[in-house]
Amino acid sequence: MKPIVVGVDESKASAAALRWAVQIARPLGVRVRAVTVLTSTGWMINPEFGGWCPFEPGTRDEEGRALLDRAVRSAVPVDDLWRIDRRAVVGVASWCLVEESTTASMVVIGAKRRNAITRLMDGSIQPALLRHASCPVVVVPEHHEIGTPVVDLVDRELVLAG
């Protein structure tokens, strides 16, 4: 089965989406692919610094991998780290995740508030995915709690729990 792709930055919404995806991946026996998208403009989103922060172009890949590693390790229990493949790509987040959807069983993103500058620089991820993704898209609210039942697996069929 194809992996579950999760759009990852260091936001609370992203952490909730990653935890949700891992919770879904366990009963299905699939891997999770955490994807962070770096811009080619010399800026990247880092909530630790209150939003956008500059980075040196020569260190972009290194910074992206470090951001991705911090985000995954802070969101997921150690026992589940082996389930997660990590990938840092360069581009516009919405279109990179649409491209990732072609090899995914589903794409999961976190719902967060975004300001006009972030939307302008990064594109509106949710509408682009909902219109153009090649697989189902799940938007997880930032406040989703771990342990809340999200699915039941009945005869290998995924059933959303209410």
pLDDT tens for each residue of 116-132 = 555 554 457 888 888 99
**C-alpha span between 47 and 30 (Å, rounded):** 29
pTM: 0.76
Reference 34, options 55, 4, 64; nearest CA is: 4
Q: How deeply is 86 buried, as exposed, middle or buried, from its count of CB atoms within 10 A (0-12, 13-18, 19+)?
A: middle
pLDDT bin (cut points 50, 70, 90) of residue 154 is very low
Rounded Cα distance between 119 and 65, Å, is 23
Backbone angles phi, psi at 15, to 5 degrees: -60, -40
CB atoms inside a 10 Å sphere around CB 162: 5
Extract the tokens encoding 35: 């994807």
Token pair listed for 137: 């898209």
For residue 132, what are the domain limits?
A: 4-160
The arithmetic mean of pLDDT across residues 41-56, rounded, is 56
List Cβ neighbours of 51 (8 Å cut-off, separation of 6 or more): 45, 115, 117, 118
Tokens of 47: 């909530």
Q: Tokens standing for 11?
A: 């936001």
Q: Which helix (H) or strand (E) holds 86?
A: strand 84-90
pLDDT of residue 41: 61
pLDDT for position 85: 94
Q: Number of folded domains in the chain?
A: 1
62: domain CATH number is: 3.40.50.620
